[in-house]
Structure 1
């Protein structure tokens, strides 16, 4: 009997020691530079938020966090790269609602699965979008704009490309309001905004940071915010929901993903560190400067958001018949 008890105690000690060593390995993460992949070109919201986060995480971790832009194919190049990366926490993805939740409904030949090939780590922020029109449009309010479109039926809206959030927001409005705005795709948001300023297209749905300066200078007119709540940066602009479309609520999120099977201890550590940062005054100020609002979540909460939004956008894509170029 004593031999059995002794053997049990030895086994228990080995188990405790193994668990201790296991936890210590992950507690030391990261021990070398971390790459944060952005699947869009430099200059956009994803890139700006990634660089803010990288700088702050580098300070906490004592290791460089290097932002690497891998743009192309609607974000699919960057996502495919991360999906195939080593599952050790040293290659992370800064994604957003457009690429992670919409592409799966638009592309039939994706080289990755947005759910099965990734683990949701942490949300970073939400960035509200606006319905903006050029100054030649004879409408001062969103309600007047809808009425004008229905009477003229020759209005257009530009986007950063077919299948982008900008595009599908216009399609959502057509479905919700019974309008027939004609989509004009561009190769990026910049050219679309240029043509809006020049009066060559009627409207765009774009993020607050990308157009706030032109709104404040009176070069274009903001009619409504796409989120359920008004923008803190432009509090006088009403929401689309306030115009009677109560279910219209799009407030795109940005967040961090890792390759599937990344150790849960690493996922939880990254989530906790990002959560601490997001609740700091300095980080909140940096994010607010981008027209965004910090968003803290657990990995499970983030995964639920992704699952919900994949279903939401799949419905929009199906009903609108939206296609990529």
Structure 2
């Protein structure tokens, strides 16, 4: 009788475990995570800044976690396509996304039909890295600093600025400059940033907002002139270029960032293990030496701090987007 009872209880327990969601099961065995390959989705194309960073970090994570970490590119809709895939994935820690200022901050207010809610549908794991944007101008533009550029734009009754696309941190840099100074600036988005750079050098567009690493060679060659670093500190890649704050425009920060997210509902133990792996990567001297020349600054930090950071960043860009009426249908 006792044997039959134990068999019955064991069967019930097995059936109960089979009906539990993956997140609960993972929680009960958090110490064994990971037991299989982890996939990090890059919601942009191969060779993008996000792709470059993620592949370097994934290699370090593989070593740290003792499991293969692969990277898959799922580009489209300003990062929304790949991000939406992860939002709908099983929250077991095996499908993650390297989100960015565009996919996980700007898009929240910019895209009217965004297929996810950043704070509801994702588990923030860690801020990973940031890199500054810069305002560069055609070499013949008669302005050598922000004040002169703003004055020129007002005198002309308007000035166009190029970026790498709608909803990009570059666009937000332009929108923020317009908001802070009243300069009449008009956005010219490019699908290919290479064409945006070429057109600015040729003088078809007078100014360009984009990431520092992509513009360093043209600036040093004299094809473009750098007017301001849109970040709190100067960049070591262009140490002589002053920040916007140094030029008298306070609260003007368009620093781009990248951070690791998983689907909402991930077990705390899994989030903590992934967070610690990012922390290890952020403090790896060889990894930093590899990424620094490309403009990346590794960050790290707690998952709670990252959630607060994302919340604040969403609010910041929502205010700019609402004030400038910059939206994507």
- TM normalised by structure 2 equals 0.89
- Preserved CA contact (<8 Å) 2:27 2:267: no
Q: CA offsets per residue over residues 210-251 of structure 1, 9 Å max, x none?
A: 111111111111110111111122111001111111111222
- Preserved CA contact (<8 Å) 2:169 2:254: no
The alpha-carbon distance between structure 1 residues 135 and 304, as it changes in their structure 2 partners (threshold 3 A), is same
State the alpha-carbon separation in 2 of the partners of residues 22 and 236 from structure 1: 50
State the alpha-carbon separation in 1 of the partners of residues 132 and 156 from structure 2: 28
Is 1:302 aligned to 2:318, yes or no? Answer: no
Partner-residue secondary structure (3-state), 1:205: strand
1:189: how far off? 2.1
1:139: how far off? 1.5
Partner-residue secondary structure (3-state), 1:261: coil
State the alpha-carbon separation in 2 of the partners of residues 111 and 74 from structure 1: 12
Q: 181, 184, 189: which one pairs with 1:185?
A: 189
Q: 230, 249, 253: which one pairs with 1:249?
A: 253
Is 1:91 aligned to 2:72, yes or no? Answer: no
Is 1:71 aligned to 2:63, yes or no? Answer: no
Is 1:56 aligned to 2:39, yes or no? Answer: no
Match of 1:283 in 2: 287
1:199: how far off? 1.2
Partner-residue secondary structure (3-state), 1:255: strand
1:28: how far off? 2.3
Match of 2:316 in 1: 312
State the alpha-carbon separation in 1 of the partners of residues 242 and 308 from structure 2: 28
Point out the more displaced range, 260-269 or 61-70.
61-70
State the alpha-carbon separation in 2 of the partners of residues 280 and 46 from structure 1: 19
- Preserved CA contact (<8 Å) 1:229 1:239: yes
1:141: how far off? 2.1
1:277: how far off? 1.7
Match of 1:172 in 2: 176
Partner-residue secondary structure (3-state), 2:120: coil
Partner-residue secondary structure (3-state), 2:119: coil
1:282: how far off? 1.0
State the alpha-carbon separation in 2 of the partners of residues 163 and 274 from structure 1: 27
1:323: how far off? 2.0
State the alpha-carbon separation in 2 of the partners of residues 305 and 23 from structure 1: 26
Match of 1:152 in 2: 156
Partner-residue secondary structure (3-state), 1:258: strand
State the alpha-carbon separation in 2 of the partners of residues 198 and 87 from structure 1: 49
Match of 2:200 in 1: 196
1:22: how far off? 8.0
Match of 2:240 in 1: 236
Aligned length: 305
Q: 33, 55, 77: which one pairs with 2:37?
A: 33
State the alpha-carbon separation in 1 of the partners of residues 304 and 312 from structure 2: 12
Partner-residue secondary structure (3-state), 2:29: helix
Match of 1:293 in 2: 297
- Preserved CA contact (<8 Å) 1:228 1:250: no
State the alpha-carbon separation in 1 of the partners of residues 201 and 119 from structure 2: 38
Match of 2:84 in 1: 80
Runs of at least 5 residues in structure 2 that lack an aligned partner in the other structure = 1-24
- Preserved CA contact (<8 Å) 1:162 1:322: no
Match of 1:100 in 2: 104
The alpha-carbon distance between structure 1 residues 200 and 307, as it changes in their structure 2 partners (threshold 3 A), is same
Runs of at least 5 residues in structure 1 that lack an aligned partner in the other structure = 1-20
Match of 2:9 in 1: none
Match of 2:114 in 1: 110
State the alpha-carbon separation in 2 of the partners of residues 286 and 86 from structure 1: 33
1:133: how far off? 0.4
